[in-house]
């Protein structure tokens, strides 16, 4: 009987359609396919074995902070993105980490928006979406040269219709070797009332390790009590969101359903979003800042997503619905 069930389970894994909904796209381009790990629900997955240790390490009493907006201290805050047509001229890119970067040229437009502004001494991410071919280009520590070329610490090219991951051990424009744009909180999503993907966040202490779908670590800390890059977290199902504003509830529901992905070293429980002047409209950002600080690390739990993985070199994901079906069959 167990043999028959094993064969049936194997068939389900290969043939059951993924029931995820596609994430909200940009200019007609998806933020990866609907069955990509970024767009997969994690609300029914098991809690990770070291969840309590990860929460303690990242700050059980620390509140969530939205790391995005319009202006802060006279500089833009959040990560902007640039939209270009497929005819955008290509420019050469030089890299500090050339051996882990995708070679140029990239379609970086003149005057491209840089995280923190042109004079920033921060991460200086540059994100570009080729809307006609649905290709995402991302740079870290990007600086324009007088001749129109760019110099960056690292850079990555992602096909938004593909599940391909970076080569194992490679960085991207982010420490975890993941794309940035698919994990950002965007103004248009918030006003539409739904965020249907995992949210990028940072932690001050990370492990010298990474878990799927991450491809890279950026730490010398070997403690198993510290979360590895790529670790998924979710807001606990018991957390009451009803006392928050409708806008904040959109983020909190996404945190329960799709969770957070640890993508970089930084301030604890800082969630990343886009630079957008509209965040300041009607005091929206002030509301988000004041309300999200009421959500603490202790309100989260780390999630084990290993059952969703089809291949370690692909972001394609089994749905949690399929996993529940398999578990129920096996138990019976």
User: What are 49-69's pLDDT values in tens digits?
Assistant: 999 999 999 999 999 999 999
**7: pLDDT strictly greater than 70:** no
Residue 242 tokens, joined: 């009803």
The predicted pLDDT at position 170 comes to 98
Mean pLDDT of 299-304: 98
| Rounded to 5°, angle at Cα 230 from 229 and 233 | 110
Mean pLDDT of 26-36: 96
Least confident of 79-93, 141-155, 314-328: 314-328
pLDDT per residue over 279-294, tens digit each? 987 789 999 999 999 9
Instruction: Please check whether residue 153 is in contact with residue 95, taking contact to mean a CB–CB distance below 8 angstroms.
Output: yes
Full-model pTM? 0.89
The predicted pLDDT at position 16 comes to 39
**40: pLDDT strictly greater than 70:** yes
Mean pLDDT of 132-141: 98
Instruction: Please check whether residue 299 is in contact with residue 68, taking contact to mean a CB–CB distance below 8 angstroms.
Output: no
Would you call 21 exposed, middle or buried from its count of C-beta atoms within 10 A (0-12, 13-18, 19+)?
A: exposed
H/E run at residue 201: strand 199-203
**264: pLDDT strictly greater than 80:** yes
- Which residue spans within 165-316 are E strands per DSSP? 199-203, 232-235, 260-265, 270-275, 300-303
pLDDT per residue over 150-194, tens digit each? 999 999 999 999 999 999 999 999 999 999 999 999 999 999 999
The predicted pLDDT at position 20 comes to 52
The predicted pLDDT at position 21 comes to 54
């Amino acid at each position: 009987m167990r043999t028959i069930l094993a064969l049936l389970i194997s068939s389900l894994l290969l043939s059951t359609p993924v029931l995820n909904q596609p994430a909200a796209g940009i200019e007609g381009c998806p933020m990866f396919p609907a069955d990509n790990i970024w767009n997969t629900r994690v609300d029914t997955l098991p809690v990770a074995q070291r969840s309590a240790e990860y929460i303690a390490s990242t700050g059980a009493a620390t509140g969530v902070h939205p790391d995005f907006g319009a202006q802060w201290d006279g500089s833009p805050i959040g990560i902007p993105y640039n939209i270009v047509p497929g005819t955008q001229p290509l420019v050469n890119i030089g890299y500090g980490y050339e051996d882990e970067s995708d070679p140029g040229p990239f379609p970086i437009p003149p005057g491209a928006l840089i995280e923190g502004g042109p004079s920033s001494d921060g991460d200086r991410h540059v994100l570009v979406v080729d809307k006609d071919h649905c290709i995402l280009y991302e740079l870290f520590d990007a600086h324009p040269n007088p001749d129109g070329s760019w110099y960056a610490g690292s850079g990555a090219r992602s096909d938004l219709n593909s599940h391909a991951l970076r080569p194992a051990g490679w960085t991207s424009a982010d420490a975890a070797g993941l794309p940035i744009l698919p994990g950002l909180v965007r103004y248009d999503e918030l006003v539409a009332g739904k965020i249907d993907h995992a949210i990028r966040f940072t932690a001050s202490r990370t492990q010298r390790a990474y878990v799927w779908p991450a491809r890279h670590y950026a730490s010398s800390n070997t403690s198993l009590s510290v979360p590895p890059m790529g670790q998924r977290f979710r807001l606990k199902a018991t957390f009451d969101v009803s006392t928050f504003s409708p806008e904040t509830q959109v983020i909190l529901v996404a945190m329960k359903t799709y969770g957070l992905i640890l993508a970089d070293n930084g301030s604890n429980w800082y969630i990343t979003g886009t630079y957008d002047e509209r965040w300041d409209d009607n005091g929206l950002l002030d509301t988000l800042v004041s309300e999200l600080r009421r959500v603490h690390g202790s309100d989260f739990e780390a999630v084990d997503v290993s059952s969703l993985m089809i291949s370690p070199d692909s972001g394609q994901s089994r749905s949690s619905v399929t996993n529940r079906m398999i578990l129920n069959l096996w138990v019976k």
